[in-house]
């Protein structure tokens, strides 16, 4: 399934029903008065957060949504039925913006949260509502109000505790497949991962955290190069970052340059991203080239007062220690 994280939708609330013009005419009741009922209220259009939805792909194929209108009033003071509300599910992590102004209206962070995005029109009053001492036989009623119509822009930011970042082909997808039950596409060429991949890491019987494999960043990503800014927004919600760096000679950039490039792209996209805790993992330590390069890499980061973790996503080397460090950082943030 293709991952869709942006959509534009048109939402129309239900119209109110018409009021009725009617007069009571029954045998043996010579002076029957007006008895026209009111129209029913139009249904509201409501967005609500639903678990289990992974993208906004449903809105790719259906962009127009309309709630039910209220029914019209009838004689004998029968009021019209209210229109049913239209409930539209969106994934957790969806941001709702007014399409015209860009104003942020809602950030759905919890299951079941709701937002009325378009209000239904009120039903018109029947002629029975307009009687008075001087107006005993009104021959008019109100039309129902039209429901609101609005356009919205939906943006999805994945809800994950941990984001795995790094240049293309650094081994992010392999790491996710090792530490979770997720099965991302894995191959030895850049941009294998074209969609973010979520997985759950269980580190005790009742405890776990959600990890997201963020598709590869390259130099100039904040300006649209490579996969561009398409997935940079998903890093914003994470609490801890695992910065995965290819320690071998097969990388397009040496480990030090790779570290600088990725962090610079984060800073240019959103300076707050560089404040997130980062665990630097030097991957592919099963390769001789990586083992040869590691002492120099470690020395560079030590001079910056940064600790690095040698790992091999292919063999599992160092993975347990890395996960323990992630859990420790998350615990510190929660405390």
> Does residue 146 share a domain with residue 212?
no
> Does residue 54 share a domain with residue 27?
yes
3-state SS assignment for residue 134: coil
> Does residue 234 share a domain with residue 146?
no
Instruction: With beta carbons less than 8 A apart as the criterion, state whether 88 and 11 touch.
Output: yes
pTM of the model as a whole:
0.67
Could you tell me the residue range of the domain that residue 4 belongs to?
A: 1-156
> Does residue 4 share a domain with residue 77?
yes
User: H helices within the chain, ranges in order?
Assistant: 58-61, 172-179, 255-269, 288-303, 319-334
CA dist., res. 301 & res. 18, Å (int): 73
> Does residue 198 share a domain with residue 304?
yes
Of 156, 183, 201, which residue is a domain's last? 156
Instruction: With beta carbons less than 8 A apart as the criterion, state whether 1 and 107 touch.
Output: no
**Cα 331 from chain centroid?**
25
> Does residue 319 share a domain with residue 254?
yes
> Does residue 133 share a domain with residue 234?
no
Of 101, 128, 156, which residue is a domain's last? 156
User: Can you give the CATH number for the domain in which 173 is found?
Assistant: 3.40.50.300
3-state SS assignment for residue 106: strand
Q: pLDDT of the chain along its 335 residues, tens only?
A: 345 578 999 999 999 999 999 998 877 766 678 999 999 999 999 999 998 777 788 898 899 999 999 999 999 999 999 999 999 999 888 999 999 999 999 999 889 999 999 999 999 999 999 998 888 889 999 999 999 999 999 988 777 889 898 888 888 888 988 888 655 444 454 444 445 677 788 887 668 888 888 775 645 444 444 444 556 777 888 899 999 999 987 766 788 888 998 898 888 888 888 889 999 999 999 999 999 999 999 999 999 999 999 999 989 999 999 999 999 999 998 87
**Overall number of domains in the chain:** 2
> Does residue 194 share a domain with residue 55?
no
* Number of H-type helices and E-type strands within the chain: 5, 14
> Does residue 142 share a domain with residue 13?
yes
């Amino acid at each position: 399934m293709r991952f869709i994280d942006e959509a534009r939708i048109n939402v129309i609330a239900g119209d109110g029903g018409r009021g009725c013009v009617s007069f009571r005419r029954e045998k043996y009741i010579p002076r029957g008065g007006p008895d026209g009922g009111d129209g029913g209220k139009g249904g509201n259009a409501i967005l609500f957060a639903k678990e289990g939805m992974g993208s906004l792909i449903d809105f790719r194929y259906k962009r127009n949504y309309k709630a039910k209108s209220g029914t019209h009033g009838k004689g004998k003071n029968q009021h019209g039925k209210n229109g049913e509300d239209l409930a539209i599910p969106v994934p957790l992590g969806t941001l709702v913006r007014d399409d015209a102004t860009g104003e942020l209206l809602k950030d759905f962070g919890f299951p079941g949260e709701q937002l009325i995005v378009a209000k239904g029109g009120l039903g018109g009053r029947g002629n029975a509502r307009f009687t008075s001492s001087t107006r005993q036989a009104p021959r008019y009623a109100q039309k129902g109000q039209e429901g609101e119509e609005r356009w919205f822009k939906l943006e999805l930011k994945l809800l994950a505790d941990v984001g795995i970042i790094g240049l293309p082909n650094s081994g992010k997808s392999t790491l996710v497949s090792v530490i979770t039950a997720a099965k991302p596409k894995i191959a030895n060429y850049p941009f294998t991962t074209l969609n973010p991949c979520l997985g759950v890491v269980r580190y005790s019987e009742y405890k776990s955290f959600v990890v997201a494999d963020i598709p590869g960043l390259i130099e100039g990503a904040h300006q649209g190069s490579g996969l561009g800014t398409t997935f940079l927004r998903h890093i914003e919600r994470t609490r801890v970052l695992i910065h995965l760096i290819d320690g071998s000679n097969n990388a397009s950039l040496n480990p030090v340059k790779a570290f600088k490039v990725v962090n610079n792209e984060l800073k240019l996209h959103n300076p707050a991203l560089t404040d997130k805790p980062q665990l630097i993992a030097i991957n592919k330590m099963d390769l001789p080239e990586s083992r040869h390069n590691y002492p120099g890499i470690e020395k560079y980061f030590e001079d910056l007062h940064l600790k690095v973790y040698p790992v091999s996503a292919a063999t599992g080397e160092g993975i347990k220690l890395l996960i323990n460090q992630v859990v420790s950082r998350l615990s510190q943030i929660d405390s």
